[in-house]
Amino acid sequence: MATRRLSSLISQSFSSSPFRQVVQGQNSSLAKGIRRIGTAVAAEEPIMPPVELNYTQLLINGQFVDSASGKTFPTLDPRTGDVIAHVSEGEAEDINRAVSAARKAFDEGPWPKMTPYERSRILYRFADLLEKHNDEIASIETWDNGKPYEQSALVEIPMFARLMRYYAGWADKIHGLTVPADGPHHVQTLHEPIGVAGQIIPWNFPLLMYAWKVGPALACGNTVVMKTAEQTPLSALYVSKLFHEAGLPPGVLNVISGFGPTAGGALASHMDVDKLAFTGSTDTGKIVLQLAANSNLKPVTLELGGKSPFIICEDADVDQAVELAHFALFFNQGQCCCAGSRTFVHESVYDEFIEKSKARAVKRVVGDPFRQGVEQGPQIDLEQFNKIMNYIKSGIESGATLESGGERFGDKGYYIKPTVFSDVKDDMLIAKDEIFGPVQSILKFKDLDEVIRRANATRYGLAAGVFTKNIDTANTLVRALRAGTIWVNCFDVFDAAIPFGGFKMSGQGREKGIYSLNNYLQVKAVVTPLKNPAWL
């Protein structure tokens, strides 16, 4: 196995940082934690806790093994483009091995037959191990993905543990109903695990997407074959090792690193996979759905792209609105499916909003994500970097006004300066396409009817943001906007119990909360005749 040690030690000053207090108790929501990061002063040297990469193979039937072909692929450090490690490359034969292990674990193994309470105890122990290894997991996540270490360590890993505890709590509370019948029959419903769940996760939030999918699947008693994003395979492998330390039986969770057309396609079309969950782009989601339909008609949940409107009304406190809109777009390097990437601003405050948004973007701290106080790290890879730069070029050529940014940051890695466009029109590519990068498009509107029409004029419907002091305005927009989540005077609040998913081409089904359990259960009706109907 490839092993590499990070040499720098985490500083004592960070260990006692006020940021660590953000994730205590009920204050661990994403929005509450992240928005405090910008107040830090960047350290001179990167902070990088020591960690060893001992898990770069495929996880099949409880063992880390080489791919059947013996092939590997490099996973890169987005700060530099250097190779972090070579990871086993799973293909169709490896998917077959993993699905066979998951099938045997479901049909013959102890996991579905355990009492729900026993399953919950394993999930709770896993959450405890996540907290114990918080800094190592955060280091791997930042190293492979490029997001700020403070975001990983103080918000995302604690949230990961919170999500697992949430689903652990659900494991022994899943039950059916008794149903009144018109005749002399006793009728009951059973809610049973669906079987082998195939899951494909993206690279922008590797561990949170892992939790969103693995948590409900295992709580319901299913087994899992997960395909990680080829850009970010390392953290899922590491935490899956911890899952087995917590007592997860072999074959219940299998993790395959590989590429979409080979490993992902094989998983989506596999005849022995009973359910499929995918998070990624809308275009890829269409392919996944077609592969699933053409195989065994397995049910599919999809969490896809977005082009979320963020509406700043005329009564808004402009300073607060600027900060919230900035966070809504630039969080996670703009690599967020629900990013507020169409900022609609009322004409009465438009000019002031533009000037202050430009000033805020210029102040945004970009740099090595292992430095304290850094708000924005590199984009995930060269392909994404080039895609974003092409959209910036398109914005300039189509007549939008470039207020700030628009250029590479530094001379190595995949960093882009925070970019703000004004005078954006609805028909420009930067206003229509999901850029998935640090590019804010600001559009002007006159009244509610107009902004409702324009905000809904998109193939997406994942999320939307509303900033207003007027409850009637808020209620009007909340009811009129066609999106799965509406944030009012906040953004990116991802509590474990809040369902998440999209309208239109932003997907189907919901993740997180009670609604996510339905994705991994099937309902069985049981009807028994009553011999003495006189007692009815």
Write down the pLDDT at residue 45.
63
256 within domain boundaries: yes
Q: How far is CA 133 from CA 120, 137, 241, 454, in A?
A: 20, 6, 12, 46
Write down the pLDDT at residue 245.
98
137 within domain boundaries: yes
Rounded Cα–Cα distance for residues 463 and 427 (Å): 20
Last residue of a domain, one of 304, 339, 363: 304
Work out how many domains the chain is built from and give that number.
Answer: 2
CB 220 within 8 A of CB 520: yes
Write down the pLDDT at residue 52.
81
Last residue of a domain, one of 304, 329, 344: 304
CB 375 within 8 A of CB 366: yes
- CATH number assigned to the domain comprising residue 114: 3.40.605.10
149 within domain boundaries: no
Write down the pLDDT at residue 50.
60
Write down the pLDDT at residue 3.
36
217 within domain boundaries: yes
* Cα radius of gyration rounded to whole Å, the chain: 24
Write down the pLDDT at residue 357.
98
The verdict on 402 and 433 lying in the same domain is yes
Give residue 431's domain range. 309-488
The verdict on 384 and 439 lying in the same domain is yes
Last residue of a domain, one of 447, 465, 488: 488
Rounded Cα–Cα distance for residues 204 and 332 (Å): 8
Burial class (CB in 10 A: 0-12, 13-18, 19+), 332: buried
Write down the pLDDT at residue 20.
34
The verdict on 296 and 315 lying in the same domain is no
271 within domain boundaries: yes
Low-confidence stretches of the chain (pLDDT beneath 50): 1-43
Q: Which two tokens stand for residue 91?
A: 């293909």
Rounded Cα–Cα distance for residues 326 and 267 (Å): 38
Q: Which residues pair with 464 in a beta bridge?
A: 486
CB 369 within 8 A of CB 333: no
Which has the closest alpha carbon to 60: 101, 103, 107? 101
- CATH number assigned to the domain comprising residue 387: 3.40.309.10
Task: Report the predicted TM-score, pTM, of the whole model to 2 decimal places.
Answer: 0.91
Burial class (CB in 10 A: 0-12, 13-18, 19+), 287: middle
The verdict on 199 and 61 lying in the same domain is yes
The verdict on 382 and 275 lying in the same domain is no
Rounded Cα–Cα distance for residues 268 and 132 (Å): 34
Catalytic residue numbers, as ranges: 303, 337
The count of C-alpha atoms lying within 13 angstroms of the C-alpha of 107, restricted to the half-sphere facing its C-beta, is: 9
